[in-house]
Structure 1
Amino acid sequence: MPSNSRGTFRGGPHRGTSRSTPAAVPTAGANTTFGGRRGGGPNQRGELCRFLLRGGCKFATTCQYSHNIPRTEGSIDARPPSERQVEVPTTLHAPKTVQASPTVQASVTNFPGLANDQFSKVEMNLTPGQTFHSLRNYLEESFRFRTPNQVYHFLSIVCCANTQNSSWTAKEGQCMIKVHLHELVQGNGIVRLADIIRLPKDTTWPWSFQRGYIPIFTYMTSDWVVKSTLNSDVNALYGLFHNNFPIIRNTVETNMRNLMAARSFKDGSRSFSGKQIFKVLFVALFEYLTRFKEAPVTNPSVRDFTEQIVEWFDQWIVALDSTPPFEDKCTACDEAEREFIIENLRHDKERVLRIIRRGQTVVLNSHAQTSYRLLNNVDPGLVAILERNFDFDGPGEFCETGPRHDNDPADIEMIRVAPTRDELLCEDEPYLPANFFEAPHFHDPRSAERLLDIQFRLLREELTSPIRLAVHLIVEDLKKSKSGATTLSKILNSHGGRYAAPATAQESVMFSVFTDVTFQPPGLSNRGISVGIEFDTPPGRARSGQAGARAEYWEQVSKKRLMQDGLVALIWKDHIGNIDVYVGTVASSGRDLVDCAKANGGQDRVSIRVSFFDAKANIRIVQALQSRYESNDIRVLIEAPVFYEAIRPFLEALKREPELLPFSQYLSLQSMEELRQTIINPPLYSRSPGFSFELKDLFPPAAGVESLQLTTRDPDSIANARTRLIQASRLDPSQAEAVVDSLTREVALIQGPPGTGKSYTGLELIRVLIKNDVSPILLVAFTNHALDHMLKGVLDSGITRSIVRLGSRFSMDERLAKYSLEEIEKEAGRSRLEYSGKSAYRDMKELESQMKALMDDITSHRVSSSHIEQRISLAYPHHHGELFRHPPSWISAIAPKPSDAQEGWKIAGGSPNQEQSIIDFWLNCGEFKFLETQLQKGTKAKASRQASDSNAFGVLGKGDGGTKATGENFLQDFMRKHGLKKVPKIPTTSRALEDLLKIPKVWNMSQSEQAVLHEAWSLKACDLTNASQIQDFEGFRQSHNGASQTHKEITEQVRSRVFPPR
C-alpha cells in the first residue's frame, strides 16, 4: 500500500470529498440539528401557552397565549419524525432531512428489536400538553378510582410518554420526562400506581390484566424512563415493584396462567401479542434486579417468578408453530421477522436468568477445571501455585482468615474505589487475580463477572499501591519517631519536602509531604463539602520573598502536584500515639493555590481545600476546630503519586452490572481453542429483516454507481460489495476490505503503519453510517489532537456538521469550539426542565449559607446559653436556682423574659444575633449597666440644674417634681418598690473560682467573677454545644448532598436533550 505523509487523510482532496449532494438534500451549512419543531412557526400571540402545558394557567381566558391544544394538525407538527425539521446536534449524526432508502427507514426506525418501546403500542397519541392536562384530575388529593375504565384511561395517559407516540418528539420526550416522572413519583401519581397494583387483590370488578396491569410495566420499561439520568425518580418508580412484589407476582402468575391455558393474549376484541407482554416483563425484571441488588434476598420468590415467566415464554415460542398455533400476531410474521423478534426476547430472557442464577454460582475447584486446562499450553506448576494461593488467600470471605480489612469484599461492586483507612494500614498483600483463562477464580471462567473482577482489581492496584506504600512508610516513621532520626523527621524539621523510599523498601516510591497541617472551617459548594487544609510552604522557590516568584513556582508545580481531583491522605498522630489516615481529593483549583501563595504570608504557609471520602474525617476536623486548646498532634498531608481522577471513571464503570457490558461474549476470557473458533456476528441493527447498507457514496461520480446494497446476512451480497469496492471505489483494496469487514462485524480492529490511510478509512466508514442513518456515533481518541484531526476531516469531507465535541473547550481546536457541548447548550436555549432544577439549586445555596453561619459559631467557641443552663442545672443546682428561679425582685423587673423575644423586643444596643436569655443578661452585667446608666442620668440632671439656677428667669419654669425626676431619685424609688432601703453597690471583689463554685449568690458577684464563673460553666457545657453543632453539621451535609444529587441529575437530563434517543 502506498504511503502518505503522516497526519493527512489519504486520497487527496478529491478522494476526501463526498459526492455532490442530491437536490432533495439540503446543503450542509451551519449546525444541522435534531428534534421536531412546531409546524408553521409561532404566531405573534398564537403560540401555545407554556403554563397550560404544565397542567394549568392561572390567567385562564385572559391569557394572551393560545389555550387551544391541537391534536394532530395545526401548530403541532403532525409530520412523521423522518420528515420533521431538526434542532439539536448530536455527537455525530446524520441530518434527519436526508432521505434514506425505504428499507433502511422501515427497518431501523420502526422495526422491533432496537428499543423497548418498539415492542409496545400507544393507545392515545396525546401531546405533552394534553397529557399533563389530562392527568390533573387523577392527581388530585381526593381522587379515588371508581371504575376499571378510569384505571385504563389513567394508564393510557401515562403511557403517552413513549417514543412510539408521534405527538411527542424526541426533544420533548427528553425534556418533559422529568416533569412527567415528577408528577408520578413526587406527587400523587405514584399513589395512583400503587392503588392500581393492589387493585386486583382488593376489587370484585370485572378487570382486564392486559389493560390494567401490563401498561404499568410498559411505562416502567419505556426508553425515556430506563434511559433517564434522573435515577432517584426512576428508582422510586421501581420501588413500587420492590415493595409490592408479592402482590405483583400473584397477579401476574394468576392471569398469565389463564392466558397461557387459553393460548391467546387477546382481551375481547383488543389484540395483544406475546412479544409485548414478555418484553415488558423481562425488561422490568432486569431493571428491578439491577436497581435493587438486595431484591433476591428481600423477595426470594423473585427467582421462582422469573423461572416461571421464562417457562411460559419457552412454551409460547413452541406454541407459535404448533397446530393449532397460539393465537398471536407473531404467527403472521415471516420466518426472518419472527426469528428476529424471538432473538431479541431471548437476549432479555438470558440476561435476567444470569442475574437470578448468579447467586447460585459456586467456586470451581481444581478438579473441575482440569479438563480444559490440560488442552492448553500452560505451565502446570504456575497453575498449581495460583490454585494454592487462591485456596488460602482469596478475596473477602474466600480468604482463609477472613477479609483483610473493611474494603475487601469478594464482590467488586461493594469495593470503594478510594482506599479506606483500614486498607491503607493493612500489612497483608491485596488479592490480585491472574489474567489468563486457566487461572483459578471464584467466578465462572467465561463470565463477564470474572472479566470485570480481574480488570477492576488489577487497575485499582495501579492506583492504590503507591499511596498504600507511602502511608506505610510514613506510619512506620511515626512509630519510630522517639527512637531516632527518620526520613520523616528530617522532612518535619525542614517543614516539608519529597519523601523517597529507602533502598530496603519493597518497592520504590517518591511522594510529597506537607507538614504542620492546620484546619480552616469546612464549607459547602457545588463540589460538595470540603475542608481548608493549611500547611508549611515546602522548601525552595515556593518560600521566595517575592510574591511573583512564588506565584510562578506554583503555576508550574500545580500542573502536576496538588491538582484538582488529585488524591491526598491526611495522616494524623494524636498525643496518645494513635494514628489515623483520612483520604480525600483536592477540591480547590491550581489558581486558588497560586492566589494563596501570592498573599501575605505565602512564603510560610499555603492552603488548599480537600473533600474527604469519610464523614469521620470531617467530624474530627470540626471537633478540632471546636477545641479551645492548642494541639500537640502531628499531622502531615501526603499526595498520591498517581492521579486519581484519571483512573476513577474507569474503575466506576467496571463496577457496573456485568450484564450491561457490551460484547461480553467476545471480551470474556476464553481458551485459545475457543478464541480460534469465535465467530463475530454482524451488528444487531443490520440483522433486521429488510435492512441493507447503501454503499454508493463510496464511489466517485465518474463510476456511475447508482446503488450498491450490502446485506450483512448474505455472503453473496458481502462478496459482491467487496469486489465492486475494490474495482471502482475511492478506496484502495486494503481499505475496501477494512470497510466491508467493519460493516459486517460487531467488533472490528483496523491496524496499519503510519500513512496507510487508517483515518481516511475511518472517515469513509462514518460516511456510510451517516448516509444510512445509523447514529449516533461516538468517536474516542487517546489525545485531543487526534480527535480534533478526525472531526476536522468529517467537516472538510462534508459528511455532516451535526457534531457535539465533548471535553474541555480549552483543549480543543478553535475551529471546533462552536461544536462544544457548552456552546450548543447556549444555542438550544433554556428548557422547562432547567427551571425545575432551580429549586434544588436554591436549596443548595441556602444550606451553604447555614453551614457558613454554623462554622462562624464553631470558630468563635461560643457556647449556647441553653446548654449552659442545662449543664449547671445538673452540676450546680443552687447556682441554677439563684440565677434562673430566684433572682432579686429588682433584677427580675429589668431582666429579659422569653416572651420579650417572641413579641419582638430587643436589648438596646445589643447584637441582632444576641440571645435574649437571663444568663446572657447576667454575663453582660445587665444589672450593673442599669445602675450605672441611671446614676449617670442623675449626674447630668444635677449639672443641668446648677446651670439653670444661674438664670434669673429659670425658676419660673420649675415645678415641684423637677428635683425628683433625677436618675438617683428614680433608683431610690425603684428599689423601695422592690423591698430595698437603698440602691445596691456594684461589687468589686475578686474571689477564686473554687470559692465561686461553692457560693450560689451569683447576683452578688463582680463583673470579673461573673466572667470567670461563666467560663468554667462554658467548659463544662461545651460538650452539649459541640454535639449539637456536629448534629447540625451532619444534617446540613446530608441535605446538601441530596439537593446536589438532584441538581446534578437534572443538569445531566438537560444536557441529554442535545443528543437524540439512544
Structure 2
Amino acid sequence: MSHSVRNSIGRGSGPGEGSRGTFQNGNRGGSPFAGRGRGMGRGLGRGREEMSNEELEQVKTKQYNVLLENLQSSALSYDGSDKLVFVSGDRLEGAWRGLIRKEFRDQQQMRWFITSCLLDADKQTGVAVETLVEQLGNPELGISRIREICQYNMSVDAGFKKNFASFQCVILPFLALLIRHGVRGSTLEKQLNTIYSVVYSYIDSFFHDKIMRCLDELVRRNSLLDRNVDKDKLLKNDPDIFIPSTFGQPFLILARFLNELLCRIKEASVNDTVHKIVQRLQDASNVWKDSLLAERQSISGSEDALVSHPEKRRYYFDILDVEMRRLNYVLSDGRRSLNAAKREANKAEISETVLESRKMAKMNEFERLYDPPGELSKYGPRHDNDFLEISKIAVIPTKDEILASREPSLPSFMLDHPDFLPDGISRLLDMQFRLLREDMLNPIRLGISRFLIDLDKDKSKVKKLREEGGRFRYDKGDISGDLNVYANIRFVSINVHKYRGFISRVAFTPPKIRSAKDEKYRLQYWERSRKLMNGSLICVLWQNENGNSLNNNETNPTPTYSLYFGVVVEKNERLLSRFETEAMIDIHFIESSIYPIVLEDISMGRNHPARVKRFMVESTGVYFESYNHILKTLQGTNPSDVPFRQYLISPLERQYTQVATPLYTRAPRFHFDLSILLKNHGDSLLLNVQDETSKENAIKKLSTPDVSTLDETQSRALVDALSREIALIEGPPGTGKTFVGVELMKVLLSETNRKATSIGPILTICYTNHALDQFLECLLDNNITKIVRLGARSKSDRIKEFYLDTISRSRPKISHQGFMLYEAFDKLEEIKKEAVKLQDKLSRRWMTWDDVKNYLLVEHTGHYLQFADNHGPDVPALLLNIDSEEFDQNEWTIVGEEKMKNQPIWDQWINGVDIRRREQLIQAIYRNQNVIEKKASKKRKDNQDISMLQSNNMYDFLMNVPRDGEEDGDNEDDEDDEDENEEDYSEDDVNNDNLQEIDSTDNIENDETEYWLQKLVIPDEDRDLEILLEDLDVWNMSRIERQRLHDHFREATRKNIIDELSDLEKKHTAKRKEIEDINDEGRREILENCQVIGLTTSGAAKYQSLIRSVAPRIIIVEEAGEVLEAHILSSLTPSTQHLILIGDHLQLRPHIATYTLSVDSQPGEYYKLDRSLFERLVNEDVIMSQLTTQRRMRPEIADLIRKKLYPKLIDGI
C-alpha cells in the first residue's frame, strides 16, 4: 500500500475530538517537505506509487463514512467548515510556507496550497495557526495568492486543466479555509479583515459571476460531478483531494462565508451585488431541496449523501435555515440603515415611520412628548452627539451634550409607543444602548450643570470647593447625587505610554483627611477610597480667558468654562499620597484639543495664578468602566449576530412562546448521558431531548431519593434546561438554584457528553465577582478543575491560580509571536517620537520655517513666496544678516557671530532683524551727518572748500555700518574725542570712521539698495488682521503686525498639528489593539483547552472579542434576576446556541443610577431599565421552570414570603 493511501485511510473522523475536518493519522512520521523554505513544494506528487483499485475503494469508503458521521455530528451546527471539508495528507503539512512565496503554476499547485493551509488550520490554536493567519494576511505573500485565486478561471468541469480552477475541488476548499474555526476564530483581526477585504473587492467577478454561475450550473444538472474526469481518476491522481459528496457542503460553506463577510465588511449589507448573490443562493438551495425531497430522488444509489438519510437531512435543513435567516436578516437590516442614512442626508424628507409616530402622538402624554433623535427631530439634533444610529454616538459625552438645554430622546419599552425603528433586534439594541447610556450620563450631566450654575452665582456653599475641593451635592426633584470636586488642578507632564496611550498627569489639592501630615495615613486613605478608581470618568472644568457668565437660562451656561472628559488610566496610591499639599493622577483625555492647554500649563509651572479657577470632577454614583464595555459592545453588535431573536423581540412580533431545543441537540441519535448524577455510578440514564417520554422518564428517575440528590422540581428544571435553547430556572431563596446550576455543569462537562457534542468551553457569567467566585468554588468542590477566570478582582485564594493572566504568564512566548510583538512595539516607538515632535511644535511660542512653510504654501502662497522665493526676499541684503553669494531659499548665511549662522529668513522677519538694521542705519546717518556738519563748520572758518564733504558717497557709508554682533569702532565717546582732536580728523575718517569695508557690489545691486535707502523708515503701523492677510509687503509690517500675522498662522497650523496628533493617537490605539490581538492568540489557546470560562457581565463585554474567538455554544448566567438586559445581550455571541438563566425576579432588581428610569418611578414605567431580561421573559410568558422546595428557612419564616410572593413554596426536610 502506498504512503499516500496509508495516510488517507489511516485517519479516522468520528464525532469526537478527531473529527474537526482532518483525517487523524496514526503514523505521523513527519512530512518529507517539512522544514523546507523557499521553493518548497516543487516535488509534491512525484515518485508516488500507483493506487490500486482496492486502495481506491478503501479511500472512497473512508471518506463517505466520515461524511456521514459529520452530517450527524452536533459540531456540524457550529460555525465554520470543520465538518464540511475534510482533507488528508501529511505529505502536504507545512508545504504552504513555500508555495505562498510565488505564483501558482497550475490549479494543482493551488489545490496543494489550500490543502496544506487546511491541515495547519485544523490544529485550531497554537503557533501553526497563528503563523498561517499572519502569513495569509501578509500583502506580499498570502494576499497575493488570494488575489490569484480570485482572478483565476473557474469551471465545474476543470478536470486536469492547468489554467482552470475546479469549483468543487479548489474554490470550495478555499472558502472553507477562510471560515475554518482555527482561522476565523483567530484574534489577529488586522490580518483577517485584510483577507476578507481582498475577497470582497472581487465580489462581482469572483463571487457573483464565477461562483454563483458554477453553483447554478451544478444545481441545474442536479449533480456535483466533473464531466471531464471521474472521481476515481481524481483520487488516483491526488489522494489528498477534497471532492464534495452532497450539495449540503457547498450551500453551507457559501452561506457561512457570506455571513462572516457581512460581519466583517459592514458596507457589504447595502451592496446590490451581495443582495443578488444571497437571493441566487436562496433560490438555488430551494431548487436543490425540492429535488432532494422529490420521490424520484428517494431511491438508493443517488450520488447525494443526504438522499437516503432523512434524519440527517432534517438536521442539515435546520442548520442551513438558521444560516439563511441570518443572512437575510443582516441584509434587510442593511437596507433599513441605508434608508435611514438617506433620510438623514435629505432633511426635507419625512419618513413613513416619523409620520406614523406623529400620528400616534395623540395617544397619551408620552406620545405627545416623543421627539425622535438626530435629524428626525422636528427641531433638529439636540447637540453634536445626537444621532439616529447608535454606532455614531460617542460613549463619553461631549461638552455640547452636557450643556444642552433639550432633554435627550429616550425610547420606551411600551409596546404601543412610537419609535423611529420598527420592532425587532435593531430596536432592542437601540433601546438598551440609549437607556443604559442615559443612566450613566444623567448624574454626570446634572451634577456638572448645577455645579457650574453655583460657581457662576458665587454661592457660599461652593466657596470652600473653590479653595480645596470636596463633595458637591445637588438635588433636582426625583434626581439627586454627588460630585467629587478636586480643586487647584495643574498639568504636570504628558507622556506616550506603550500600553496606556497618551497620558496627562494632573496635580490637585487632595481631600482633607485626618493625620494628613503622615504619608502612611495618606496612603491608607487612597488605598481604601473609591475615588479616582481605574476606569473612572472625570471632567476637567477649565476657565476660559474672557469667559462670559451664564445666560438667564441657567441650564444653558455660556463658555465660562471649557469641559474636557478623560478616563483614569492608573490609580497610583503612592503618587496620590506622596505630598501633603498635592496629589497626582494619570488621565487619558478623549479630545486631543486639550493638548495645547496641557503643554502651555506645564510650561507655566506650579505658580500659575489661574489654578484656583480650575476643577476636576467625577460622579460618585457612576462607575464608568462598568458601563463603557457594555455600551461599546451594544454599539458594535450586528443585529443578525444576536441569537434567540424570536424570543428577545417584543411579544407583538413573536410568533410563538414555545422554546425549541438547542440546535446541537437536534443531531440524529443525539442524547445526553445523565449517569453522572446518579448515586450508583454503575447505573445508566440517557436523555433524548426531542422525545417527551424520554424527558419524563429522566425526571421521574432523578426525582427518586435513592437514585439522585435532586428533588422533583430540581430534576424537572435540569431536564427542561437541557431541552430548551433559552431556559429560565426561577427559585425562591434556599431552593437550590446554585446547586442545580452545578449539576447542569456536571452533565454538560461529563466526558461522554463532551465527546458527543465537542461543545468546547462553557461560559459562566455572574453579575458580581463574589457570586462568580462562589459558583466556581462549587465547581472545584465537584472536581471540575479545568477553569479559567477572566478579570482580577477575586478575593478567593482558591480561584487566583485560575486567572487567565496567571496562566498566560506561566506559558513561554512563541518565537513568531515575539517577532510580531517586536515589530508592533517598534512601530509604537516611532509613533511616540512623532508625537513628541508635534508636542514640541505646540509648546513653542514662535514657529519655525519648517512649522509654517507647508501651511503658507497651500493657504497663503503670496506670503510664502516672500520667504521662500529663489531670488531672495523683497528686501536688500543690507537690511538682513545674509550674504548674497551664499543665499539659499531656505537658509541665509549670517555675517556676524557664529551662533547666528544659518538663521532662516522667516526667523529674521519674525525677530525684526530688518527693522533693527534700519534703526541702526538711521542712527548712523544722524551721527555721520553731525560729524560732517562739524567738519564743514571748521572748514568754513578756515575758508576751505567743503565740496568734498558734501559729495561723500552715502551708499558706501551705509554699507559699512556694523550689523548685529559686529564690533563698531564708533562709540558714544568718539564725538568728544573728535572735539578734542579736530585737527587730526580727515575726510576718510568721516566716511569710514573705524567701519568694516565691504564692497557694495559684493552684496546686491546699488540701484535696488539705493531705492530702499531713499524710503528708509521704521514701520510702526497697527493694522487689522484682515488687512495684513491681503498685504504681501511683509517687510514693511511693524513688529506688532508681524506678531499678529504670526499668531494667526500659528493658530491655523495649531489646528493642523492637533489633527495630526489626534491621528497619531488613533494609530497608537490601533497598534495597541493589534498587540492585544497578538497576545489574545495565546490566551485563546488557553481558553480553547479549558472547560469553564468564568467572568462577570461587565467582563463578558470587556473580553468580547476574545470570547467570540473561542465561540462558546453554552452560556449559564447565575443571579440572572439581578442582571440588566443590556448585560445579557452584550454577552451573547453568534455562536451561542444554549442560554440558561438561573435567578429570581422577585428578589433584588438590577442596580441603576438614575431613579427616573426605574420601574418603581412614575416616569420609569415607560423605560423599565432595571427590569432584567429574566423578569421580562417571565412576564411575557416564555416558559419557565420553578423550584419550589426550600431547605434554608424555618417554616414560620418561610410563611412570611410564601403568602405574598411564593404561594407554591413548600418546606423541605
- TM-score (norm: length of structure 1): 0.71
Report SS of the residue matched to 2:77.
coil
Q: Which residue of 2 aligns with 1:170?
A: 124
- Structure 1, residues 483-528: CA drift from partner, whole Å, max 9, x if none? x53478635643433322256x673232123344433443222454
Within-5 A mapping of 1:182-261: 182-200=135-153, 205-247=163-205, 248-261=207-220
Letter in 2 for 1:644: F
Residue in structure 2 matched with residue 590 of structure 1 by the alignment: 571
| Alpha-carbon distance, 1:555 to partner | 3.4
In structure 2, what residue type is equivalent to 1:1040? H
1:1048-1059 → structure 2 map (5 Å cutoff): 1048-1059=1076-1087
Alignment partners' CA distance in 1, 2:527 and 2:775:
32
Q: CA offsets per residue over residues 11-65 of structure 1, 9 Å max, x none? A: xxxxxxxxxxxxxxxxxxxxxxx999x99999xxx9999x97695699xxxxxxx
Q: Deviations over 1:545-604 (max 9, x none)?
A: 5544544443343x2x22221112233442254626545333342225x424423xx41x
Q: Does 1:569 align with 2:539?
A: yes
Give, in angstroms, the shift of residue 1057 of structure 1: 0.9
- Taking the aligned partners of 2:767 and 2:328, their CA distance within structure 1 comes to 37
* Matched-pair contact (CA < 8 Å) for 2:80–2:181: yes
Alpha carbons of structure 1 residues 636 and 873: separation in structure 2 relative to 1, 3 Å? farther
Match of residue 940 from structure 2: none
CA contact 1:103–1:691 (8 Å) conserved in 2: no
* Structure 2 residue identity aligned to 1:334: H
Match of 1:112 in 2: 76
Work out whether 1:729 is the aligned partner of 2:683: no
- State the secondary structure of the residue aligned to 2:76: coil
Distance 1:182 1:931, change over 3 A: same
- 2:410 maps to 432
Q: CA 1:39–1:510 in structure 2 vs 1: closer, same or farther (change >3 Å)?
A: same
Aligned partner of 1:139 in structure 2 is: 101
What code does the residue aligned with 2:625 have?
E
Cα distance in 2, alignment partners of residues 255 and 584 from structure 1: 56
**What CA distance in whole angstroms lies between the structure 2 residues aligned with 1:868 and 1:452?**
48
Partner of 1:313: 285
Which amino acid in structure 1 is aligned with residue 591 of structure 2?
Answer: D
Partner of 1:822: 805
CA distance in 1, matches of 2:277, 2:719: 44
> Which residue identity lines up with residue 831 of structure 2 in the other structure?
L
Cα deviation code 1:670-696 (max 9, x no counterpart): 159x69x62122222222112111122
- RMSD (Å), alpha carbons: 5.1
Give a deviation string over 1:363-400, Cα, whole Å, max 9, x none. Answer: 8879999xxxxxxxxxx99964444444xx12334322
SS in 2 for 1:213: helix
**Could you tell me which of 442, 446, 453 is aligned with 1:469?**
446
Q: Which amino acid aligns with 1:352?
A: L
Aligned to 1:279: 252
Question: Does the Cα contact within 8 Å between 1:694 and 1:768 map onto a contact in 2?
Answer: yes
Aligned to 1:1039: 1067
Q: Is residue 119–residue 275 contact of structure 1 (8 Å, CA) maintained in 2?
A: no
The verdict on how the C-alpha distance between 1:274 and 1:426 changes in structure 2, with shifts beyond 3 A counting, is farther
Structure 2, unpaired ranges of 5+: 1-19, 41-47, 49-65, 156-160, 232-242, 340-350, 549-557, 857-862, 914-961, 968-994, 1002-1015, 1021-1038, 1089-1109, 1112-1213
Spell out, residue by residue over 1:340-372, the C-alpha distance to the aligned partner (whole angstroms, 9 max, x if none): 111101100011111212255598879999xxx
Q: Deviations over 1:604-663 (max 9, x none)?
A: x43323222233344664577689998969543221341111112222222211222232
> Which residue of 433, 440, 450 corresponds with 2:427?
450
The 1:53/1:841 distance shift into structure 2, 3 A limit, reads farther
Partner of 1:663: 644
The one of 786, 789, 797 aligned to 1:805:
789
Q: In 2, distance between residues paired with 1:543 and 1:789? A: 38
Number of residue pairs matched by the alignment: 869
Equivalent position SS for 1:813: coil
Counterpart position of 1:693:
672
Deviation at 1:289, TM superposition (A): 2.2
Q: Residue 117 of structure 1 aligns to a residue in which SS? A: coil
Matched residues in 2 for 1:201 and 1:714: separation?
A: 47
> Is contact 1:418–1:583 with CA below 8 Å preserved after alignment?
no
Report whether the alignment pairs 1:335 with 2:335.
no
Indicate whether 1:121 and 2:85 are aligned. yes
Alignment of 1:46-85 (within 5 A): 55=37
Number of the residue aligned with 1:778: 763
1:859 CA drift (Å): 4.3
Q: Is the 8 A contact 1:547 1:597 kept in 2?
A: yes
Cα deviation, residue 209, structure 1: 2.5
Whose relative contact order is higher, 1 or 2, with alpha carbons under 8 Å and at least 6 apart?
1
Q: Out of 226, 248, 251, which is 1:267 matched to?
A: 226
CA distance in 2, matches of 1:178, 1:340: 35
1: CA distance, partners of 2:283 / 2:30: 53
The alignment-based identity, stated in percent, is 24
1:920-964, Cα deviation, whole Å (9 max, x unpaired): 9999x9x999999xxxxxxxxxxxxxxxxxxxxxxxxxxxxxxxx
**Compared CA separation, residues 862 and 47, structure 1 to 2 (3 A):** farther
Tell me the residue number matched to 1:84: none
Matched, 1:683 2:665: no
Aligned counterpart, 1:841: 825
Q: Is 1:796 matched up with 2:754?
A: no
Q: Partner letter of residue 199 of structure 1?
A: Y
**1:320-719 superposed matches below 5 A:** 320-325=292-297, 328-359=303-334, 384-390=364-370, 393-445=371-423, 447-477=424-454, 481=456, 484-486=457-459, 490=463, 493-501=466-474, 507-532=479-504, 534=506, 536-537=508-509, 540-541=512-513, 544-557=516-529, 559=530, 561-574=531-544, 575-577=546-548, 579=559, 582-591=563-572, 594-599=574-579, 602-603=580-581, 605-618=582-595, 621=598, 635-641=614-620, 642-655=622-635, 656-671=637-652, 678-700=657-679, 703=680, 705-719=682-696
Q: Secondary structure at the match of 2:798?
A: helix
2:383–2:404 CA contact under 8 A, matched in 1: yes
Native 8 Å contact 2:593 2:1058 kept in 1? no
Cα distance change of structure 1 residues 917 and 114 upon mapping to structure 2, 3 Å threshold: same
| In 2: Cα distance, 1:151 partner to 1:112 partner | 27
Q: Would you say the 8 A contact 1:588–1:609 is kept in 2?
A: yes
Question: What SS class does the counterpart of residue 823 from structure 1 fall into?
Answer: helix
1:171–1:39 distance in 2 versus 1, CA, 3 Å: farther
Question: Unaligned stretches of 5+ in structure 1?
Answer: 1-33, 59-70, 72-101, 164-168, 370-379, 901-906, 933-973, 981-993, 999-1010
* Superposition deviation, residue 1055 in structure 1: 0.9
CA distance in 2: counterparts of 1:516 and 1:757, whole angstroms: 55
Structure 2 Cα separation of the partners of residues 915 and 1034 of structure 1: 33
1:1038 and 1:103 map into 2 onto residues whose CA distance is: 48
| Cα distance, 1:318–1:358 mapped onto 2, change above 3 Å | same
String of CA shifts for 1:312-352, please: whole Å, max 9, x gaps. 11111111022543965243452111111111011000111
Task: Note if contact 2:501-2:588 (Cα within 8 Å) is conserved in structure 1.
Answer: yes
CA displacement 1:701-745 (0-9 Å, x = unmatched):
xx4743211111111211221122122323232332222222222
Distance between the aligned counterparts of 1:585 and 1:41, measured in 2? Answer: 59
- Residue 441 of structure 1 and its aligned partner are, at CA, apart by 3.0
CA contact (8 A) 2:82 2:180 kept: no
* Inter-CA distance 56–208: structure 2 relative to 1 (3 Å threshold): closer
1:740 and 2:719 matched: yes
Aligned pair in 2 of structure 1 residues 853, 346: CA closer, same or farther (>3 Å)? same
Residues 872, 260 of structure 1: CA spacing in aligned structure 2 closer, same or farther, 3 A cutoff? closer
> Is 1:519–1:531's contact at 8 Å kept on the other side of the alignment?
no
- Provide the residue aligned with 1:941 in structure 2: none
What is the one-letter code of the residue matched to 1:712? V
Cα 1:181–1:746, aligned 2, differ >3 Å: closer, same or farther?
same
User: What SS class does the counterpart of residue 647 from structure 1 fall into?
Assistant: helix
Q: Displacement of 1:821 after TM fit?
A: 1.1
Gap change, CA 1:498 and 1:874, over 3 Å in 2: farther
Distance 2:876 2:513 in 1: 59
